[in-house]
Amino acid sequence: MKGKLKTPPEFSSEAAERAFWARHDSTEYVDWSAARRVQLARLKPSTETISLRLPKYLLDNIRQIANSRDVPYQSLIKMWLQEHAVERR
């Protein structure tokens, strides 16, 4: 470790923290030489794979929309499902 480490600020939200770390070098705040590798053997994926059959024209349309927004089509479908689920609550 070189020099004294800085203390990261208090964050008001996860978005604020993400923005901070996108602009700052973590080596100024964390002594990575003291880090240890761990294995999280019981950690399970937070997603579940499903199979969804869609008409080709619909999937092509979704892919075009996703391409125009520069996002993967599966991510776009997930965003739409999430938005609709929240609206229905």
70 Ramachandran zone, left/alpha/beta (phi>0; psi -120 to 50): left
The Cα-based distances of 25 to 32, 59, 80 in angstroms read 12, 41, 34
2: pLDDT strictly greater than 70: no
> Which pLDDT score is estimated for 1?
53
Q: Could you read off the pLDDT of 11-38 as tens digits, one per residue?
A: 999 999 999 999 999 999 999 999 999 9
47: pLDDT strictly greater than 80: yes
What are the extents of the domains in the chain? 1-37, 41-89
Q: Is the pTM of this model over 0.95?
A: no
Q: Give the percent of the chain with pLDDT over 70.
A: 98
